[in-house]
Amino acid sequence: MRRRKFLHSFVCTPVVTSLLINCKDDQHAQEKLQLFIKQNDEAVERILSRQQSHTDHPFYGGFPDQYDIYHHSSPAGYAKSLVISYISKASIYFKSERVAVVLSLAMDYLLSVQNQQGNIDLLTTNFNSPPDTAFAVEPVSVALTLNRKIASDLLVGFQRKAKQFLLKAGDGLTIGGIHTPNHRWVVCRALARINFLFPNSKYIARIDQWLAEGIDIDPDGQYTEKSIHYSPLVDDCFITIARLLDRPQLYDPVRKNLDMIKYFVHANGEVVTEVSTRQDQYKREDLSRFYFAYRYMAQLDDDEQFSGMATFIEENVGLEKLSFTLSHFLELSSLSAVLPRQYELPTNYEKNFSHSKLVRIRRGNLDASILGENYSFFTFFKGEAALQAVRLASAFFGKGQFVSEELVVDNGKYILTQELEGPYYQPHLPENIAPDGDWNKMPRSGRVQSEVQRLRSVITITEQGGAFKIHFDIAGTPRVPLAIELNFREGGKLTGVKDLGEGSYLLTSPGTYTMGKDTIHFSPVAASHSWTQLRGALPKLKGMGVYLTGYTPFEFDLSIS
C-alpha cells in the first residue's frame, strides 16, 4: 500500500511541543525522540557557549572554529538546533529567552555575510558559492517551517530574518551555478524548500531546468559520485522535492539506490566505500546517513526490506548516532509510525555491479568485494576481522602499481588484467633536432622506441563456500621485484609474520589475523625478498600491512578464508 498522502503531512503542534505523536507510534518512538532532543540540547549548550558576544568584534554573532575562522554556514546549521530546542517542550531550552537572543544574533551574522547576489562563502574553498548557499538554506528553511508551529513573540525577529535570508538566497539560486553532480539536487531541494514557504514560479522553473538534465543514476543504482556521503544526500534531496512539489516520479531513483545499498553491507554492519570517487573512498563508514531514506521509503511503499534496513541501522549503528534525523521526525509526524513487517536482509548472494566495476559476495558472517579499475582489487570481512585491501605492485619503470583495465566475470571466475610497457628511445632524426638542444622541444612521441619491456599481470579470483583463491600470473620482463600487500585493520593480532617495523610485516608461515572472536586465515608463503615499498608503488596503507614478495615470472595461488 502506498502512503503518499499520509507521509506528505507535516507535523502538528503537539508533536513539536510535547512529543505526543498523534499517529500510531512504533514501540520506541517516544524514547527515541526524547534521546534525540537530549542530544540536541547538548549541541545547543555548546552553541550557546561559542557565539561571539562582543559587540565591537568584527564577527559579532558568529561562531569560531578551532582556528578562529568564522564560517558563514555555521549560523545556518545552528539555527535549526536552536529552534528545535526552543519549540520542544521536552527540551531544557523550551521557550528559552537566551536561545531566542542567540538565534537572533546568529541570523544577523548570517545576513551580514550574505552577498548582494544572495550567496555565502565556504571559507575553506568556495566563494560566492550557490551550492554552499543551498546547503545553508536547508537548515534555515527547516527551522522556519518548524517555528511556524508555535506562537512566540520572542521568535518574531528570527522569522523576519530567516525570510529575508531565504528570499535573497532564492534569488541567487535561480541564476547560480554548481560544481558537482549532487550540487544540482541540493540547489533544487533548497528551491523546493523556499517555494514551500514563499511560493514563486521562478523557483519551480529553475528546478525544472536542472531536472531537465536527467538524473545521474546508473543501472546499478549508483549516482555519479558513488559516495556513501553523497548518495544519501541525493536521496534526501529527491524525497524532499518529491513530497513538497508532488513529483512522485522522483522517488524512483531513491528506490533504486536503496535497493543497491542492501548489497553493500559488510558482515559487521559497515558499508563498502571502495568505489566512491569522493573523499570517503577507503574510509570506514556505517549506514547512518541512509537511515532517514530507508525509514521514509519503508513507510511510503510499505516495503519490508526497506523497513528491515531501517531497523538494522537502528540496532547496528545505535540511536545515539541518528539524532541528526530529529528534524525529519518533527517535520513529518508519520515518520514515527510503526514500520511495516520486515523481511530478513540478504546475507547470501553474489552480485555483479558492472557499472561500478564491483562484485559483492556475501556468505553469512563473511563477505568480499572484488574491484575493477581500483588500486585495491579485493577486500574480505569476517565478522569483526577486516582485510581492508589487497594490492599488488612491481618495480616496473616506476608505474607498476596494479590497476586492472577491466573486470571480467566468467562462470564463477573474476579476472583482472593489466598490461604495461616500458620502452627506451632512440635519437631524433636530424631534421627534428631542436637547434638549441632544448629537450622539451624533442618529445618522446617523435622518437623511435627500442628495448621495449612488457609486463602482463592477470589476477583470477574464485570462491567456494566463503573461501577465496587469488591466482596471480605475472609474466613478461624477468626478474622484476614485486610485492603483494594485505592490509588488515589496526588493532588485530597477527601470526606467521616477521615484523619489518612501521606497521609492515613479511609473511613467513601460514598466517592469521584475529580481531575479537573472528580470525582470517591466509597462505601460503612467498618471501623472495623483503623490499615492500617498491619504487613507483603507492605508499603503504594505514593499518597492518602483511607482504608477500617475489620476482617475475610469478605464478602463485593465495588462499584467504
Each residue of 196-239: pLDDT tens digit? 999 999 999 999 999 999 999 999 999 999 999 999 999 999 99
User: How far is 340 from 307, CA to CA, in rounded Å?
Assistant: 6
Question: What 3 state SS string does 95-155 have?
Answer: CCHHHHHHHHHHHHHHHHHCCCCCCEEECCCEEEEHHHHHHHHHHHHHHHHHHCCCCCHHH
Question: With 50 as the cut, is the pLDDT of residue 4 above it?
Answer: no
Q: pLDDT, tens digit, for every residue of 138-170?
A: 999 999 999 887 767 788 899 999 999 999 999
For residue 88, what pLDDT band results from cuts at 50, 70 and 90?
Answer: very high
Q: pLDDT, tens digit, for every residue of 275-315?
A: 998 988 898 999 999 999 999 999 999 999 999 999 999 99
For residue 23, what pLDDT band results from cuts at 50, 70 and 90?
Answer: very low
Q: What is the largest CA-CA distance in the chain?
A: 89
Question: With 50 as the cut, is the pLDDT of residue 405 above it?
Answer: yes
For residue 11, what pLDDT band results from cuts at 50, 70 and 90?
Answer: very low
134, 114 in Cβ contact below 8 A? Answer: no
**pLDDT exceeding 70 applies to what percent of the chain?**
95
Q: pLDDT, tens digit, for every residue of 472-529?
A: 999 999 999 999 999 999 999 999 999 999 999 999 999 999 999 999 999 999 999 9
Query: Assign residue 318 a region: left if phi > 0, alpha if psi is -120 to 50, beta otherwise?
Result: left
Domain ranges of the chain: 51-214, 348-560
Question: With 50 as the cut, is the pLDDT of residue 427 above it?
Answer: yes
Q: What is the DSSP letter of 12?
A: P
Mean pLDDT of 239-251: 98
Length of the chain in terms of residues written: 561
442, 434 in Cβ contact below 8 A? Answer: yes
Question: With 70 as the cut, is the pLDDT of residue 21 above it?
Answer: no
Question: With 50 as the cut, is the pLDDT of residue 319 above it?
Answer: yes
pLDDT of residue 27: 56
Strand partners, 28: none
User: How far is 264 from 9, CA to CA, in rounded Å?
Assistant: 32
- Please provide the average confidence, as pLDDT, over all residues in the chain: 92
Q: Does residue 130 have a cis bond before it (omega within 30 degrees)? A: no
Say which residue the cell 624533442 belongs to.
442
Q: pLDDT, tens digit, for every residue of 326-366?
A: 999 999 988 988 888 888 889 999 999 999 999 999 999 99
Q: pLDDT, tens digit, for every residue of 39-71?
A: 999 999 999 999 898 898 999 988 899 999 989
Mean pLDDT of 188-197: 98
Mean pLDDT of 11-35: 55
Question: CA quadruple 200, 202, 208, 211: dihedral positive or negative?
Answer: negative
DSSP-derived 3-state class of residue 498: strand
